[in-house]
Amino acid sequence: MPEISRFLRIVITMYFNDHDPPHFHVRYGEHRATFSIDALQVLDGQLPARVVGLVAEWASLHRFELRRNWTLLATEGKFRRIEPLV
């Protein structure tokens, strides 16, 4: 599972050839969640509210790059790292 980005102890990953809808995975300590690229919300799992806010902010800034990575991973098995939240 490629690591797409990492910031403030939050790790963002995506799987190769994952199922729809387009999403990414978030790890924060012992917390795990799946986050929608389109709706910018938690689809499954649980994160502290503060982390959900930070991830949603980061994802809104990088939505195009997240969609591009979703397609690249599905079609070519490649990805590009995305800048962390500053």
CB 59 within 8 A of CB 69: no
Domain range annotation of the chain: 3-75
Read off the pLDDT of residues 18-31 as tens digits, 9 standing for 90 and up: 999 999 999 999 99
pTM of the model: 0.94
Looking at residue 16, the DSSP 8-state letter turns out to be T
One-letter amino acid for residue 65 of the chain: E
Q: Which amino acid is at 49?
A: A
Q: How confident is the model at residue 73 (pLDDT cuts 50, 70, 90)?
A: very high
